Amino acid sequence: MKKIKLKIKTPKDSETIMTEVVCPNDTNPMGILQGGKLVQWMDIASAICAQNHTENICVTASIDNVKFKTPAKVGDIVTIKAKITRAFNTSVEIFVQVWSKKVISQKAYLINEAYFTFVAIDDYGNPCEVKGLKPVTADEKKQYNAALKRKEQR
Ligand SMILES: CC(C)(COP(=O)(O)OP(=O)(O)OC[C@H]1O[C@@H](n2cnc3c(N)ncnc32)[C@H](O)[C@@H]1OP(=O)(O)O)[C@@H](O)C(=O)NCCC(=O)NCCS
Protein backbone atom coordinates (compact mmCIF):
# COMPACT_ATOMS: atom_id res chain seq x y z
CA MET A 1 0.00 0.00 0.00
CA LYS A 2 1.31 3.47 -0.93
CA LYS A 3 2.14 5.54 2.20
CA ILE A 4 1.59 9.27 2.07
CA LYS A 5 2.74 12.10 4.30
CA LEU A 6 -0.40 12.80 6.31
CA LYS A 7 -1.81 16.26 6.80
CA ILE A 8 -5.00 16.88 8.77
CA LYS A 9 -7.77 18.68 6.92
CA THR A 10 -11.18 19.97 8.07
CA PRO A 11 -14.58 19.11 6.52
CA LYS A 12 -14.87 22.70 5.24
CA ASP A 13 -11.67 22.26 3.16
CA SER A 14 -13.37 19.82 0.76
CA GLU A 15 -17.05 20.77 1.07
CA THR A 16 -18.57 20.67 -2.42
CA ILE A 17 -21.71 22.43 -3.69
CA MET A 18 -23.06 21.50 -7.15
CA THR A 19 -26.06 23.10 -8.85
CA GLU A 20 -28.19 21.65 -11.67
CA VAL A 21 -31.47 22.55 -13.40
CA VAL A 22 -33.97 19.73 -13.98
CA CYS A 23 -34.39 19.45 -17.78
CA PRO A 24 -36.99 17.34 -19.64
CA ASN A 25 -34.32 14.72 -20.47
CA ASP A 26 -33.74 14.16 -16.73
CA THR A 27 -37.37 13.28 -15.96
CA ASN A 28 -39.91 10.49 -16.20
CA PRO A 29 -43.21 10.91 -18.15
CA MET A 30 -44.70 12.72 -15.09
CA GLY A 31 -42.03 15.45 -15.37
CA ILE A 32 -40.39 14.25 -12.15
CA LEU A 33 -36.59 14.02 -11.83
CA GLN A 34 -35.49 10.38 -12.29
CA GLY A 35 -33.98 8.77 -9.21
CA GLY A 36 -31.00 7.38 -11.14
CA LYS A 37 -30.17 10.82 -12.56
CA LEU A 38 -30.24 12.37 -9.09
CA VAL A 39 -28.01 9.62 -7.65
CA GLN A 40 -25.58 10.24 -10.56
CA TRP A 41 -25.36 13.94 -9.66
CA MET A 42 -24.89 13.01 -5.97
CA ASP A 43 -22.14 10.54 -6.92
CA ILE A 44 -20.29 13.24 -8.89
CA ALA A 45 -20.54 15.86 -6.11
CA SER A 46 -19.41 13.38 -3.45
CA ALA A 47 -16.55 12.09 -5.64
CA ILE A 48 -15.28 15.67 -6.04
CA CYS A 49 -15.47 16.12 -2.26
CA ALA A 50 -13.66 12.80 -1.60
CA GLN A 51 -10.94 13.58 -4.15
CA ASN A 52 -10.41 17.11 -2.84
CA HIS A 53 -9.94 15.71 0.68
CA THR A 54 -7.72 12.78 -0.28
CA GLU A 55 -5.94 14.55 -3.18
CA ASN A 56 -6.23 11.18 -4.90
CA ILE A 57 -8.43 9.31 -7.39
CA CYS A 58 -11.31 7.70 -5.46
CA VAL A 59 -13.88 5.05 -6.42
CA THR A 60 -17.39 4.66 -5.03
CA ALA A 61 -17.46 1.65 -2.67
CA SER A 62 -21.02 1.96 -1.34
CA ILE A 63 -24.07 4.18 -1.06
CA ASP A 64 -26.33 3.86 1.98
CA ASN A 65 -29.56 5.29 3.28
CA VAL A 66 -30.61 6.95 0.01
CA LYS A 67 -33.93 8.62 0.86
CA PHE A 68 -36.11 10.18 -1.84
CA LYS A 69 -38.22 12.49 0.33
CA THR A 70 -39.94 14.81 -2.18
CA PRO A 71 -39.93 14.92 -6.01
CA ALA A 72 -38.15 17.63 -8.03
CA LYS A 73 -39.86 18.78 -11.22
CA VAL A 74 -38.84 20.21 -14.61
CA GLY A 75 -37.36 23.70 -14.18
CA ASP A 76 -36.49 23.26 -10.50
CA ILE A 77 -33.00 24.27 -9.37
CA VAL A 78 -31.27 21.38 -7.60
CA THR A 79 -28.44 22.06 -5.15
CA ILE A 80 -26.27 19.17 -3.96
CA LYS A 81 -24.02 19.58 -0.92
CA ALA A 82 -21.35 16.96 -0.22
CA LYS A 83 -19.35 17.05 3.01
CA ILE A 84 -16.87 14.55 4.44
CA THR A 85 -17.87 13.11 7.82
CA ARG A 86 -14.82 10.94 8.55
CA ALA A 87 -11.60 9.67 7.03
CA PHE A 88 -10.67 6.09 7.91
CA ASN A 89 -7.59 4.20 6.67
CA THR A 90 -8.12 4.12 2.89
CA SER A 91 -11.78 5.17 2.78
CA VAL A 92 -13.80 8.32 3.45
CA GLU A 93 -17.49 8.76 4.21
CA ILE A 94 -19.32 11.64 2.54
CA PHE A 95 -22.75 12.95 3.61
CA VAL A 96 -24.79 14.28 0.70
CA GLN A 97 -27.88 16.47 0.99
CA VAL A 98 -29.99 17.71 -1.91
CA TRP A 99 -32.43 20.62 -2.08
CA SER A 100 -34.82 21.50 -4.89
CA LYS A 101 -35.91 25.12 -5.36
CA LYS A 102 -38.92 26.51 -7.28
CA VAL A 103 -37.83 29.43 -9.47
CA ILE A 104 -40.95 31.59 -9.00
CA SER A 105 -41.61 31.11 -5.28
CA GLN A 106 -37.89 30.60 -4.41
CA LYS A 107 -39.07 27.93 -1.92
CA ALA A 108 -36.49 25.20 -1.34
CA TYR A 109 -37.15 21.66 -0.09
CA LEU A 110 -34.79 18.95 1.14
CA ILE A 111 -35.42 16.17 -1.41
CA ASN A 112 -32.70 13.61 -0.73
CA GLU A 113 -29.84 12.63 1.56
CA ALA A 114 -27.43 9.72 1.61
CA TYR A 115 -24.02 8.52 2.80
CA PHE A 116 -21.43 7.60 0.16
CA THR A 117 -18.19 5.72 0.87
CA PHE A 118 -15.18 6.27 -1.41
CA VAL A 119 -11.87 4.42 -1.44
CA ALA A 120 -8.65 6.17 -2.53
CA ILE A 121 -6.79 4.24 -5.23
CA ASP A 122 -3.08 4.40 -6.03
CA ASP A 123 -1.41 4.22 -9.46
CA TYR A 124 -1.63 0.39 -9.37
CA GLY A 125 -5.34 0.28 -8.52
CA ASN A 126 -4.76 -0.62 -4.85
CA PRO A 127 -6.41 1.18 -1.91
CA CYS A 128 -4.07 3.78 -0.40
CA GLU A 129 -3.92 5.73 2.85
CA VAL A 130 -5.98 8.92 3.10
CA LYS A 131 -5.36 12.19 4.93
CA GLY A 132 -6.84 12.61 8.42
CA LEU A 133 -9.91 14.70 9.21
CA LYS A 134 -10.40 17.10 12.11
CA PRO A 135 -14.08 17.94 12.71
CA VAL A 136 -14.54 21.50 13.98
CA THR A 137 -18.22 22.32 14.54
CA ALA A 138 -20.60 20.48 16.90
CA ASP A 139 -22.45 18.98 13.91
CA GLU A 140 -19.18 17.85 12.28
CA LYS A 141 -18.12 16.17 15.55
CA LYS A 142 -21.52 14.41 15.82
CA GLN A 143 -21.25 13.11 12.24
CA TYR A 144 -17.62 12.08 12.85
CA ASN A 145 -18.51 9.99 15.92
CA ALA A 146 -21.55 8.37 14.28
CA ALA A 147 -19.56 7.48 11.14
CA LEU A 148 -17.67 4.70 12.93
CA LYS A 149 -20.92 2.91 13.83
CA ARG A 150 -22.16 3.27 10.22
CA LYS A 151 -18.88 1.78 8.94
CA GLU A 152 -19.18 -1.17 11.34
CA GLN A 153 -22.75 -1.79 10.17
CA ARG A 154 -21.60 -1.74 6.54
C1 LIG B 1 -13.86 -0.41 -3.31
C2 LIG B 1 -12.67 -1.32 -3.58
C3 LIG B 1 -11.48 -0.49 -4.05
C4 LIG B 1 -12.30 -1.98 -2.25
O5 LIG B 1 -11.23 -2.84 -2.55
P6 LIG B 1 -10.88 -4.07 -1.57
O7 LIG B 1 -9.71 -4.78 -2.10
O8 LIG B 1 -12.12 -4.81 -1.26
O9 LIG B 1 -10.38 -3.27 -0.34
P10 LIG B 1 -10.19 -3.67 1.16
O11 LIG B 1 -11.01 -4.84 1.59
O12 LIG B 1 -8.72 -3.69 1.40
O13 LIG B 1 -10.82 -2.37 1.86
C14 LIG B 1 -10.32 -1.09 1.57
C15 LIG B 1 -11.26 -0.08 2.14
O16 LIG B 1 -12.48 -0.12 1.43
C17 LIG B 1 -13.56 -0.22 2.34
N18 LIG B 1 -14.62 -0.96 1.69
C19 LIG B 1 -14.49 -2.09 0.96
N20 LIG B 1 -15.71 -2.47 0.51
C21 LIG B 1 -16.60 -1.56 0.98
C22 LIG B 1 -18.01 -1.40 0.87
N23 LIG B 1 -18.77 -2.26 0.17
N24 LIG B 1 -18.60 -0.36 1.48
C25 LIG B 1 -17.86 0.53 2.18
N26 LIG B 1 -16.52 0.44 2.32
C27 LIG B 1 -15.90 -0.59 1.73
C28 LIG B 1 -12.98 -0.97 3.53
O29 LIG B 1 -13.75 -0.74 4.69
C30 LIG B 1 -11.60 -0.35 3.61
O31 LIG B 1 -11.69 0.92 4.24
P32 LIG B 1 -10.55 1.39 5.31
O33 LIG B 1 -9.20 1.05 4.72
O34 LIG B 1 -10.73 2.86 5.41
O35 LIG B 1 -10.83 0.66 6.58
C36 LIG B 1 -13.00 -2.43 -4.63
O37 LIG B 1 -14.01 -3.28 -4.11
C38 LIG B 1 -13.43 -1.87 -5.96
O39 LIG B 1 -12.61 -1.48 -6.78
N40 LIG B 1 -14.76 -1.81 -6.21
C41 LIG B 1 -15.28 -1.29 -7.44
C42 LIG B 1 -15.42 0.24 -7.35
C43 LIG B 1 -16.18 0.79 -8.52
O44 LIG B 1 -16.08 0.30 -9.62
N45 LIG B 1 -16.97 1.85 -8.24
C46 LIG B 1 -17.83 2.45 -9.24
C47 LIG B 1 -17.09 3.37 -10.16
S48 LIG B 1 -16.23 4.67 -9.34
In a domain, 22, yes or no: yes
In a domain, 106, yes or no: yes
In a domain, 1, yes or no: no
Burial 122-136 (b: 16+ CB within 10 A, else e): eeeeebbbbbebebe
Nearest CA to ligand 1 atom 21: 61
Looking at residue 98, what is its pLDDT?
A: 98
* Angle at the Cα of 12 from the Cα atoms of 7 and 15, rounded to 5 degrees: 110
For 92, the domain range is 11-153
**What proportion of the chain, given as a percentage, has pLDDT over 90?**
92
Looking at residue 67, what is its pLDDT?
A: 85
CA of 148 to the centre of ligand 1 (A): 16
The distance of Cα 107 from the centroid of its chain, to the nearest Å, equals: 23
3-state secondary structure of 47: helix
Residue 125 is classified by DSSP as S
Query: pLDDT tens-digit profile of 59-84?
Result: 999 999 898 999 999 999 999 999 99
| Cβ atoms of 21 and 78 closer than 8 Å | yes
User: What's the domain count of the chain?
Assistant: 1
Q: Which runs of E-coded beta strand occur in the chain?
A: 16-21, 57-68, 77-87, 91-101, 108-121
Nearest CA to ligand 1 atom 41: 61
pTM here? 0.94
- Which residues of the chain have a pLDDT value below 70? 1-6
In a domain, 2, yes or no: no
CA of 119 to the centre of ligand 1 (A): 6
